[in-house]
Amino acid sequence: MGEIANRLEALRLQVRDLCARADRDPESVSILAVSKTRNQVEIEEAAGAGQVQFGENRVQELSGKAVDLAERSLAWHLIGSLQTNKVKDLVVVPGIELLHSLDRMRLARALQKALEQTDRYLDCLLQVDATGDVAKHGARPEEVATLARRIISDCPGIRLQGVMAMGPLDSDPAPVFAHVGRILEDLRQETGLALPVLSLGMSGDIPEAIAAGSTLVRVGTAIFGPRRPR
């Protein structure tokens, strides 16, 4: 096996071990390979090792890779922040499966308008700003329920699937992840929706994320190795 395939196998073993420690079914946690800045050869190797879900930060890069790799039937996620002027490009990406960064009503309305033109639906996560970091995007925790209700009421083309959040850069992520888990549970109670996805955890905080109930971990360097500059 190549290096990427070896890293993927090691990551899968790590996830299984962490799930066992947390008394969770390992099948309840999916791995999203963050492929931003990675080339087609690297993505092909990961796909050849059984990886299906890939995440990108930018719509243009996502669209190009999805078209170039269309024969692979991969599932593509947009994990970066989305500008309203890129919405029309996103909703027609082949294989687009999930938007992680829905965080404001203006964006939801733009998505709804674009989806009406394509007769499609889009699965989305609400991004929560769980750390108060000014450099990060997301709805404030106290705004999430109101945002969800408005989207459900006004944007039938958007199918809410759960929430996404990023952990802190320089402190224990466990309390933050636990807080986001409670936000998701409150949303389930309030909306009556299943909201099956809790997207928490990256290469550096996977143990805390899985312990907190994450169902989708976003992993780049642990799969592809150190990132190259753009």
Chain segment 93-122, per-residue pLDDT in tens: 999 999 999 999 999 999 999 999 998 999
Chain segment 70-95, per-residue pLDDT in tens: 999 999 999 999 999 999 999 999 99
Query: 3-224 adopts what CATH topology?
Result: TIM Barrel (3.20.20)
Q: What average pLDDT score do residues 192-196 get? A: 97
Per-residue tokens: 30: 């999916």
Whether this prediction's pTM lies above 0.85 is answered by yes
Reported as a pLDDT band with limits 50, 70 and 90, residue 135 is low
**Res 230: pLDDT:** 55
- How far, in Å, are 35, 91, 122 from residue 58 at the CA level? 11, 13, 17
**Res 229: pLDDT:** 61
Give the Cβ contact number of residue 40 at 10 Å: 14
Residues 6+ apart with CB under 8 A from 203: 219, 220, 221, 222
Q: What average pLDDT score do residues 57-69 get? A: 96
Helix residue spans in the chain (DSSP H): 3-21, 40-48, 59-68, 87-90, 105-118, 144-154, 174-191, 206-211, 221-224
**Res 162: pLDDT:** 98
Q: Which of 121, 206, 210 is nearest to 161 (CA)?
A: 121
